[in-house]
Structure 1
Amino acid sequence: MNHSTEVKQKLLSIIEEMDSFHWLFVKNPEKDFSRKKKWSFYEIMKFMLTMEGKSLKDELLEYFDFDCLTPSNSAFNQRREQILSEAFEFLFHEFTDSFHENHAAYKGCRLIACDGSDLCIAHNPKDKTTYFQSTPDGKGFNQLHLNVFYDLCSRIYMDAIIQPAREENEDRAMCDLIDRYLGSTAIFIADRNYENYNIFAHVQEKGMYYLIRVKDISSTGILRSITLPETAEFDVLKSITLTKKQTNEVKADKEKYKFIPATSTFDYLDLHTNKFYDLNMRIIRFSVTEGTYECIITNLPPDKFSADEIKCLYAKRWGIETSFRELKYAIGLTRFHSKKLEYILQEIWSRMVLYNFCEIITCSVFLEKNEKRKHMYQLNYTRAIHICRHFLSIKKEKAPPDVEYLIGHELLPVRAGRSNPRKVKPQSAISFLYREA
């Protein structure tokens, strides 16, 4: 049995096991899925994993091979209404955790990037937790915010927290994701949006490592209140004591003590029992281009991780950015088949399961080197996702394609040195009128 078949069987076996206890994942345990119909719990879960960005009717016709007895849109919606979105979240964690032994590591540590991305959903001014009024006379828009942990070596999503965009709090989400993490030793990597003492402390309490970019010394960030070398580049160790007290001792030694105001969140301090918290940091500043510098705060030991190595590790963080591109556009996370928030949550977790399914298969495909080629080549991950999605959707009675062969022959050249300016433009939800017809 090849690897792709093993991965598919593992995913489907988890769904089958959930089906045998489906009352745990439905709204009305005594009634929902109690009678045999075209849509079983197993079938609807599998179908939702394979959905693309097409109209719902097209999705149904293709999944049922254009059979005359293809269920209607209404029948599908009535069935999905019975399933809790937590069922798909449970499937995501069960499937992802089942491959924990395959996780790659860097010097015995998992490289876990944390970041967030906005998801545009259907226009609904009544939902005050997701609605934004862009201009006084404008239509406005609704968004959710997806916070994720992403394994940079294994290329899979490990955990996620979905927040209404009006209640977005990336710092809180990362702290919660750190607290929930139960894996082996990890290095948590993040960009400047996560410059926060509370995050550093959560990682320190977890006994893990962090590597977070912070604002440069000339900006209004953490480093502005810390005495640092006057050289352009440096690598120094600093020990500070955080406190919410404002005693004379604290005021007299601003180099040692850092005051945390009541408006700032820090989970390990109060004014009674835990008055002080010691934090050990390593601060690194290095050149990126001529006249441009970046600053990193980490707790990685200098004897095991040099400054150049820290620079390379932070550069790997870009993997989570490319994963968002594949998740949104190749997997189809920008296109939902409903306006209801509960349905949208179902589809978000489904897309993340499908992404991990595709990456677990794709990462096992060995790309042979060919010295005669002009360029180095990499797998075409967008094409690989289409292949894996089809492989998951086909019925048992059909012969499966040679997934590894197909993926291994879809290549793209790697042209080093190419760069394009980031194109930032406002996004909106895709209209649902043609979907619901």
Structure 2
Amino acid sequence: SFCQYHVNALYDCLNKVFYDWSIDAASKKREVNALISILKDRNYPQNSIFTADRGYESYNLMAHFIENDIKFVIRVKDIHTKVGLMTNVRTEEGAFDMRINRTLTSLQTKEIKADKEKYIFVPTTSNFDFLNETRDFYDLSFRAVRFKISEDVYETVVTNLSEEEFGTDDFKELYRYRWNEETAFNKLKYTIGLVYFHARKRQLIQQEINAAFLMYNVSEVIIRNIDLKKNKKLELEYDYKPNFSSAVTNIRLYLRKKINMKELILRIKKFLVAQRPERSFERNIKGQSCKPLNYRTS
């Protein structure tokens, strides 16, 4: 047995801060509903473009985006899937950019059953917030874009961004920004220290999670507002940025009033790392073992 929380977070991929987050039980079944709740809170800038991975593939979520006039790009299962938004969509192999129109309904007439390209049956066990006793049909229109990312690999996204605003190639760049959230969670867990907790009670563990998110935001804001003046090191081949791990260590000292602001800035400027955007590595996934609580004993 083990204890686990699942966190859904809203991350600004450009300014590198978390705007909102939701703490749930270990099950990932509430991912879509958690994001819908975050949308309703509106703790994010206007004109934002939401990007989400395949765990958020949902007609209900897309309808909430559209009803609230929010732009979105959601990665979905590819065209060969048997269950997903692209099921029963007639497409050709390769890249494409097409408009898809669907009518969602809870009815099961012969006409609806015969036209699976137009109608999507929504059973009573499914969660769709825009069908009720007075509304049997809901029309949904969205854009599906499939683009090549390597020799034989394609990705498919659905969006409500218009063709005039974004071309097919723009979605590679848009989706690439989402990787910043993956690196943010890595920093949150291993640099800030969200992998292990110091408390046992649920309320106190949730307090630690909230504190970790706030610490990450404070650290990123401080780091991004430090002016890195030109020196010999910065005039080399690469651009440089502060070492996040070292910066967090010194920001903790500053918050505890062990050092002043001047000393903090000097220490952050001292430890820099080169930015090499062209580098890529295979993702090394390791199994995580449970840790007993006695690891905190001295």
Q: So what's the TM-score if we normalise by structure 2?
A: 0.91
Match for residue 163 of structure 1? 24
Cα distance, 1:405 vs structure 2: 3.5
Kindly provide the amino acid, as one letter, of the partner of residue 4 in structure 2. Answer: Q
Cα distance, 1:164 vs structure 2: 1.3
Does the residue aligned with 1:406 lie in a helix, a strand or coil? helix
Does the residue aligned with 1:408 lie in a helix, a strand or coil? helix
Match for residue 393 of structure 1? 256
Q: How does 1:13-412 map to 2 (within 5 A)?
A: 140-166=1-27, 168-183=29-44, 184-220=46-82, 221-228=84-91, 230-270=92-132, 272-368=133-229, 372-394=235-257, 399-412=260-273
Cα distance, 1:158 vs structure 2: 0.9
The 2-side partners of 1:274 and 1:408 are apart by 60
1:330-349 residue CA offsets vs partner (Å, 9 max, x unmatched): 11111211222221111111
1:179-224 residue CA offsets vs partner (Å, 9 max, x unmatched): 2225412211111111111110111111101100011111222112
The 1-side partners of 2:61 and 2:254 are apart by 40
Does the residue aligned with 1:210 lie in a helix, a strand or coil? strand
Cα distance, 1:359 vs structure 2: 0.9
The 1-side partners of 2:8 and 2:161 are apart by 24
1:308-338 residue CA offsets vs partner (Å, 9 max, x unmatched): 1111001110011000011011111112112
Kindly provide the amino acid, as one letter, of the partner of residue 243 in structure 2. Answer: N
The 1-side partners of 2:229 and 2:164 are apart by 36
Q: Check conservation: 1:244, 1:259, Cα contact below 8 A.
A: yes
Q: Check conservation: 1:391, 1:401, Cα contact below 8 A.
A: no
Match for residue 37 of structure 1? none
Does the residue aligned with 2:247 lie in a helix, a strand or coil? helix
Change (3 A) 1:177 1:368: same
Cα distance, 1:434 vs structure 2: 4.8
Quote the RMSD (CA, aligned, Å).
Answer: 2.0
Does the residue aligned with 2:141 lie in a helix, a strand or coil? strand
The 1-side partners of 2:37 and 2:286 are apart by 31
Determine which structure has more spread, i.e. the larger CA radius of gyration: 1
Structure 1, gaps ≥5 residues long: 1-139
Cα distance, 1:407 vs structure 2: 2.0
Kindly provide the amino acid, as one letter, of the partner of residue 283 in structure 1. Answer: A
1:274-314 residue CA offsets vs partner (Å, 9 max, x unmatched): 21111110100000000110001000111011111111001
Change (3 A) 1:325 1:167: closer
Cα distance, 1:423 vs structure 2: 2.1
1:369-388 residue CA offsets vs partner (Å, 9 max, x unmatched): 67741333232112221122
Q: So what's the TM-score if we normalise by structure 1?
A: 0.63
Kindly provide the amino acid, as one letter, of the partner of residue 140 in structure 2. Answer: L
Kindly provide the amino acid, as one letter, of the partner of residue 245 in structure 1. Answer: L
Does the residue aligned with 2:148 lie in a helix, a strand or coil? strand
Q: Check conservation: 2:20, 2:43, Cα contact below 8 A.
A: no
1:353-406 residue CA offsets vs partner (Å, 9 max, x unmatched): 1111111111112345677413332321122211222111116xx744433333
The 2-side partners of 1:211 and 1:166 are apart by 24
Change (3 A) 1:154 1:167: closer
The 1-side partners of 2:103 and 2:274 are apart by 51
The 2-side partners of 1:379 and 1:187 are apart by 28
Match for residue 110 of structure 1? none
Aligned length: 294
Q: How does 1:415-426 map to 2 (within 5 A)?
A: 415-426=276-287
The 2-side partners of 1:416 and 1:186 are apart by 24
Kindly provide the amino acid, as one letter, of the partner of residue 258 in structure 1. Answer: I
1:218-249 residue CA offsets vs partner (Å, 9 max, x unmatched): 12221122223x14111111221111111233
The 2-side partners of 1:403 and 1:303 are apart by 46
Structure 2, gaps ≥5 residues long: none
Q: Check conservation: 2:19, 2:43, Cα contact below 8 A.
A: no
Cα distance, 1:435 vs structure 2: 2.6
Q: Check conservation: 2:51, 2:175, Cα contact below 8 A.
A: yes
Does the residue aligned with 1:280 lie in a helix, a strand or coil? strand
